[in-house]
Structure 1
Amino acid sequence: MIRITAACGLKLSPYQLERWRTAGLIPRPGPDTQVKIGDTKVYPPQTAALVAGLLVCAPHCRSIDDLALLAFFNEVPVPFDPVRAALLTAYFPQYSKDREQKDEALQRIPAKHRGQEEPWYDWAEAAAFVDMENQAAVRQMRDNLRRRRDLATASRHELDGRVCGVLTWLNAPALPTHDSVFMADLRAAMAFAGPPEQSRAAWLLAAHCHSEQLAERSETSGSERLDTFLAVTEKELRSLRELVKEALDAMWHMATEGRCRRFDVNSPSMARGAGRMLVEWTTVRRAHPAGARPAQLLVDSLRSLWSLCSTDSVGEGRGAFECRTRPGR
């Protein structure tokens, strides 16, 4: 194997070879993993392609999990078990951390204010507090709100309060379309009729939240998500990878004003993010119709928001809006 990769201009060390064998990334020599040519047993071309792919990804990675994920999302034929283990490591510690952040945010709500609204309201407010950490989206919403004449001289504190209010209702089961004050804030924060480069991060965050409002909402636990993911087959895993890559392309197309159509997963951090999206979708897809695709859900959610925000206001027109947001254009 070392000689084969050297012939391709790649350097494979004995240490790497053994480390990857131990981790299950490449098979050990044996009757089931080698073919006989004359009196010599060699790895088949598929294994050589696998090792070559790992060697290309390896310089960017510090751990086996990162290598497995980066190779997987770059379509290197990595074995199923190490990829599944890496996805578990990427998703569940972050899932627990996110839950802890929301629980901490919930505890910061004054006790006298908790439970005054519907049972879901406190949790929606806690989720909004966490979403406020998305600095790019919050900054865009705040700047868009300031463009409204009555908020032109508003303090940052007031504007942040309005942004948090918008995010609270975006994390609620449904938007209060009957509330004219809230809808005015939502229309201003989204600024669909304004320069898109000033609102793309805000649109992505809002579309993600609103897509959950369009789904069938249900409570899940970490153990339920784990069981759901462990039931995923190798074939399903490859299919899920394509759905995630399609969704990343759609988001990147939107974020770059249509200049770029493909999002390259070229670093461990990007691979971990894509991996978390994949594991999340194994549970989230149950709340959507069979065959739903996350990329299309994102666009449908954004168009739904556009439609709601265009009521009682003059927008650019549905045709023009769809031309600016259609994936793959």
Structure 2
Amino acid sequence: MKIENTTVHTPQIAALVAGLLVCAPLCRSNDDLALLAFFNEVHVPLDRVRAALLKVYFPEYSKAQVRAEEALQRIPAEHRDPEEPWYDWAEAAAFVDMENRTAVQQMRENLRRRSDLASASRAELDQRVCGVLIWLNAPALPTDDSVFMADLRTAMAFTGPPERSRAAWLLAAHCHSEQLAERTETSGIERLETFLAVSDKELQALREQVQESLDAVWRMASEGRYHEFDVGSAATARMAGRLLVEWTTTRRAHPPGSRPAQVLVDSLRSLWSLCSTDSIGEGRSAFQRRTRGRS
């Protein structure tokens, strides 16, 4: 007997459909579906993934640039230094970073633990937090400034109980990683061209690197209780997508073969080392145990 109008699907097509069916109820758009499926290793067409990555990254990048420019314009003209314009941009970047409420709150609470700041007003503490962020966004830390380094050390809770300081660590580590890298200016067009030049093989390798980085951050944020970050929603898939596109540009400022997870951890350890030159603190081995997580 001959069966008419029968279609036989390959195992690859069947796996794709099954994966999309799992992800689809969690998404409101095809772009979200493409990203969520991609980061869960469903073999979706990479052209569709690329289109979704373009949409999730570049509008947010443009908004961030606008916020930084607006922050720069709020600096009074008489306070700007034409001989050192980098400071003005560092101050503008710090104003934007102050919008990270969780990290700022953690830094503020850590500073208040210090005896000389126990009765300080919130405005004074915020001013100190902003000062820390300005120098974290500068080309280099003023390690010879003992007052600043004391504020940085305390804000990061490197000399005391580190509970609830992970958001502050991550923000500081991200900023400091740029200080350790080769600093170059890029534009949105350059970032777009760099991303478009990424091959299909590279794109899949970048997915692995981003997942590795998210896992490292998750271990740190959870005090080592969790080791794998689940990209299990449209929101987390968009976040992972922005990290991937960002890394296609920022990796060029680091030595060949660098991975974002290692860059983050190395940056955090560098900060700890710079803040511990007076030998006050918990010790390198204890710090490494906390940043690596519990086994």
User: Does TM-score exceed 0.5, indicating one fold?
Assistant: yes
Q: 1:211 is matched with which residue: 177, 195, 198?
A: 177
TM-score (norm 2): 0.96
Residue 215 of structure 2 is matched in structure 1 by 249
Q: Deviations over 1:40-87 (max 9, x none)?
A: 442211011101100100011110000000000000000110000000
Q: 2:137 is matched with which residue: 156, 171, 174?
A: 171
Q: Is residue 110 of structure 1 aligned with residue 76 of structure 2? A: yes
Measured on the aligned residues, the alpha-carbon RMSD in Å equals 1.5
Residue 196 of structure 1: CA displacement?
2.1
Residue 16 of structure 2 is matched in structure 1 by 50
**Using the alignment, how far apart are the partners of 1:241 and 1:132 within structure 2?**
29
Q: Which runs of 5+ in 1 are unaligned?
A: 1-36
Q: Is residue 131 of structure 1 aligned with residue 107 of structure 2? A: no
SS in 1 for 2:81: coil
Identity rate of aligned residues, in percent?
Answer: 76
1:302 aligned partner, one-letter code: L
Q: Which runs of 5+ in 2 are unaligned?
A: none
Residue 58 of structure 2 is matched in structure 1 by 92
SS in 2 for 1:263: coil
TM-score (norm 1): 0.87
Q: Does the CA contact (< 8 Å) of 1:90 and 1:275 recur in 2?
A: yes
Residue 87 of structure 2 is matched in structure 1 by 121
1:180 aligned partner, one-letter code: S
Q: Is residue 269 of structure 1 aligned with residue 235 of structure 2? A: yes
1:242 aligned partner, one-letter code: E
1:86 aligned partner, one-letter code: A
Q: Deviations over 1:162-189 (max 9, x none)?
A: 0000000000110000111111111111
Of 107-116 and 267-276, deviating more is: 107-116
Q: Does the CA contact (< 8 Å) of 2:34 and 2:52 recur in 1?
A: yes
**Using the alignment, how far apart are the partners of 2:231 and 2:249 within structure 1?**
23
**Using the alignment, how far apart are the partners of 1:158 and 1:39 within structure 2?**
75
Question: Pairwise mapping of residues 279-318 of structure 1 onto structure 2 (< 5 A)?
Answer: 279-318=245-284
Of 110-119 and 270-279, deviating more is: 110-119
Q: 1:201 is matched with which residue: 132, 151, 167?
A: 167
SS in 2 for 1:196: coil
Q: Is residue 326 of structure 1 aligned with residue 268 of structure 2? A: no
Higher relative contact order (CA 8 A, sep 6+): 2
- Matched pairs, number: 293
Residue 241 of structure 1: CA displacement?
0.1
Q: Is residue 80 of structure 1 aligned with residue 42 of structure 2? A: no
Pair 180,67 (structure 1): closer, same or farther in 2 beyond 3 Å: same
**Using the alignment, how far apart are the partners of 1:38 and 1:213 within structure 2?**
66
Q: Does the CA contact (< 8 Å) of 2:173 and 2:268 recur in 1?
A: yes
Pair 214,305 (structure 1): closer, same or farther in 2 beyond 3 Å: same
Q: Does the CA contact (< 8 Å) of 2:223 and 2:294 recur in 1?
A: no
